[in-house]
Amino acid sequence: MIEAAAFVIAFFFAMNIGASGTAAAMGPAYGSGAIKRKRVAMLLVGACAWLGALAGGEVVRTIGEGILPPTVMQMEVVVIVLAAACFTLFFANLIGIPLSTSEVVVGSLVGAGLAYQALYWQYLLVIVSFWIVIPFAAFFLAFGAGKMIKKYQAHLPFLRGDGKWHKPLTFILIACGCLEAFSAGMNNVANAVGPLVGVGALDVTTAVIAGGFFVALGALLLGGKVLETNGKHITNLSLLQGSTVSFTGGALVIIASIFGLPVPLTQITTAAIVGIGTAENGFVLWQKSVIRRIIKVWIVSPLFALAVSYSLILLFRSQDYYTLVVIVSVFIATVGAISLYRSVRQDKEQTMRDGEGI
């Protein structure tokens, strides 16, 4: 029963990763109007994320074996870690905030490690340092590129996508979005299936195939609201600006994935969007309430996941853990069914409003 609960929670978590992480990858293409239909954007994200997951073995090993010692990675602990992370991510998806799945899952693992007083601190510090460095790198790279784009678009109007240049620039933007979705699958699928690999329930190859499938499914069914937030509620992007955001985020995440580092994709993407928007409009962009809300959730979410995981571990160690697992599993299944129903209904309504065309 415990193993079955671990698989159910892991794959539901993978679906929420698809909603929060990979759907945001196509935000620039959707926000700039290169892809007009939300369903088309989510379909492209799902396919590319699954392909990326097949190359994400190094990050899977890091999540499964690089943070907690093997003596701690037991099936009961995996269930609690995944449940804590899944609950945090699900809550963020309900309010439409692009949350970092890496931060949530690592926070849950750290909570378990603190409860058992067993953590690989040295490697954990390396991971956390990259959480800080890479989003700042994305912001400054996008800010610099945004300044150049603004300068050259004033002298070369075709760079704005006018006339015959519209289709080529649209293609470039969509291709860059697919690159970022690929990087999302490469890095983020480990957050759901890595603990299963660490406990020996799955081998790496099977884990990335199955996890990638559910990440893609989550992007299709649950990703609409986060796509809307990242694409249209932060800043409006031109085709060239959107391409810069997606390429910057995708390239940075792929590099991190090669070294097995789980990094916050949505944080990187949003930082790049803010960098482009700041280059275009100045720091007035920072007055938008959605940015302040995203920053607050980024800070609170790993600490919240840590606290939930730590508390559940203590409860598990002192009480009947079978009852605990059943309660958590029923809760996850219930809210998951509600989420799927609401998301499918909202997406159908949005598709009817969007009309035809890409």
DSSP letters, 291-332, are: HHHHHHHHHHHHHHHHHHHHHHHHHHHHS-HHHHHHHHHHHH
Query: Is the pLDDT confidence value at 321 over 70?
Result: no
Model's pTM, two decimal places?
A: 0.78
Higher-confidence residue of 346 and 35: namely 35
Q: For residue range 145-175, what is the model confidence (pLDDT) as tens digits?
A: 989 988 887 777 777 666 677 788 888 888 9
Average pLDDT of span 233-245: 73
Question: What is the identity of the amino acid at 289?
Answer: S
| Owner of token pair 């991190």 | 256
Rounded Cα–Cα distance for residues 142 and 136 (Å): 10
pLDDT in tens, 108-137: 899 888 888 888 988 889 998 998 899 889
Question: What confidence score (pLDDT) does residue 143 get?
Answer: 92
Which comes out higher in pLDDT, residue 292 or 208? 208
pLDDT tens sequence across 135-152: 889 999 999 998 998 888
Which tokens belong to 279? 């280059």
Give per-residue pLDDT as tens, 326-347: 655 655 555 555 555 555 565 5
Per-residue pLDDT at 252: 94
Contact of 319 with 326, CB cutoff 8 Å: no
Question: Which residues are within 8 A (CB) of 114 and not within 5 positions of it... i.e. 6 or more apart?
Answer: 306, 310
Structure tokens at 127: 């991971």
pLDDT at 142: 92
pLDDT value of position 358: 44
User: Which residue's entry shows tokens 């920072």?
Assistant: 286
